[in-house]
Structure 1
């Protein structure tokens, strides 16, 4: 059975990735909605043309909002009232749903899905190759995804996951979460914590170069230790840090992190504030 898809933001960054996955798939009849003339040119490069909002929504089974987070609320207010009863909205980020920015309508489903991206610890990952699939969903690097049925009948979870597996293919594992759990992962874990730590590492690397270490030596030494220390910290190997290294780590953690950083970063108040700013 062919499902009718209305893809909003089809010419954008995420929209083009989804377009590339769906345009040659017989399982879906896709209508592409893109108001930007510049982004319509991206569709034309793929041999596709944009259609009107009204035409795309007519009979749509699934409506994908591949638009910026801060537009999700306003776009849902415009689009959702025009949808057929029993249809589904697919969101690519949990922020707007968590922040309560979605149009309220009880007879449609809201499904959220997001890629985990190809894992740096997966032996099959080719991130060091000439053309790495950094984001996944290009048919080359297997990845995992997370999914949440924010609103709707339980059966719609399977329907949403099946669609998510197609737009992010090839998918290894699909993790069923709640909207709240997705927010703990992003933005909290991977943006607020991981992103901040990586910027700190980048600054430390640049500081080492400023202190006279040759840049290539600093890069090679740092990136090699990424692999070793990631394996140690996450238990992929039973080879431990030396006693001296462990002591240096514990002392430096006290200099870098305040003692209650986890309680602050993952608090409901902080998550509310951050998701509200995003949405």
Structure 2
């Protein structure tokens, strides 16, 4: 990092990096603002696009910074805005930052879709939290930190899409501060991150979770008491997950295996993996997420 782009200094002459959070009053912007504020190595600039957003910042005790000022001063710019807005925000912001600025996105959809503008002298870093795992050792309030809001440990996945190799460590450090405490940090490509989300985590996992809820509702419709149905399904979610993901040395019973084999034919298309994980299908899913076609699902 050049002296010109070294950020600010504070007591003890420790170099701080200036981080501008665009969309700082939104759900994700608020979350990462709170976690980054715990790290004195970062000086934060909170940016919103309109007066309503700035009022939300002031209401929580943060002073908004004008976009032009923040972009001129930032060492790191975090695009904490919905996927459907990344293209517009990035094309407005990226031309105004200094050479060497690290641009961070929090989801692979827009970068994979090609929504970031071409500029050779900035770095693009893509990161996303894995969220706290089902099987964990958390206690107290951290046990209920499902998203990973600074209490429970979670893994992260990150990719350096563009820029010098040393900027991977720079981006990983910012990501660890945003999403910490960190269980593990994994380096992947942007395409691999798109395979993880939306294909694996949303297309498959979220859909199956929705189907499990619909199964519970159907049992209730057929007369099972709601509390009994909920207790039964949540317990029976836990055991199969532990078996399938190797958390316990156990196996399904012969009867359960027979039910699983039959259900594969009843519930799934034979070619579902080829359809879901086809890269063209992933690109179509991302186009819907980013608002290029059909409904916006961000």
TM-score range, shorter chain: over 0.9
Compute the displacement of 1:37 (Å). 3.3
1:118-197 counterparts in 2 under 5 A? 118-124=132-138, 132-138=144-150, 140-197=151-208
Structure 1 residues 40-119: aligned runs within 5 Å: 40-119=54-133
Report how far residue 35 of structure 1 moved: 2.2
Deviations 1:206-246 (A, max 9, x none): 00000011110011111111111111111222211110110
The equivalent position to 1:220 in structure 2, one of 206, 218, 231, is: 231
2:265 match: 254
Equivalent residues in 2 for 1:224-239, closer than 5 Å: 224-239=235-250
**Structure 2-normalised TM-score?**
0.89
Q: How big is each residue's C-alpha offset from its partner over 1:182-219, in whole Å with a ceiling of 9 and x where there is no partner?
A: 00000000100001111111111100000011110011
In structure 1, distance between residues paired with 2:114 and 2:85: 13
**1:245 alignment partner in structure 2:** 256
- Tell me: higher relative CO, structure 1 or 2? Use CA pairs within 8 A at least 6 residues apart: 1
Q: Do the aligned residues in 2 keep the contact of 1:126 with 1:133 (CA within 8 Å)?
A: no
Distance (Å, rounded) in 2 between the aligned partners of 1:128 and 1:227: 19
| Partner Cα distance (1:59, 1:231) in 2 | 49
CA contact (8 A) 1:146 1:175 kept: yes
Match of 1:16 in 2: 30
In structure 2, the CA distance between the partners of 1:125 and 1:234, relative to structure 1 (3 Å rule), is farther
Q: Is the Cα contact below 8 Å between 2:108 and 2:190 reproduced in 1?
A: yes
Change (3 A) 1:216 1:141: same
Q: Secondary structure at the match of 2:186?
A: strand
TM-score (norm 1): 0.95
Gap regions ≥5 residues in structure 2:
1-14, 291-298
CA-based RMSD? 1.5
Cα distance between partner residues in 1 of 2:259 and 2:50? 53
Instruction: Report the alpha carbon displacement of residue 49 of structure 1 after superposing the two structures with TM.
Output: 1.6
TM-aligned CA deviation for residue 24 of structure 1:
4.6
Unaligned regions of 5+ residues in structure 1, if any?
Answer: none
Give the 3-state SS of the residue equivalent to 2:287 in structure 1: helix
User: Relative to 1, partners in 2 of residues 1:278 and 1:222: Cα closer, same or farther, differing over 3 Å?
Assistant: same
Contact 1:118 1:125 in 2 (8 A): no
Tell me, in whole angstroms, the C-alpha distance in 2 between the residues paired with 1:256 and 1:20. 42
Counterpart CA distance in 2 for 1:178 and 1:164 is: 16
2:282 is aligned to 271
CA displacement at 1:17 relative to structure 2: 0.6
Q: Structure 1's 227 and 80: CA in aligned 2 closer, same or farther, altered over 3 A?
A: same
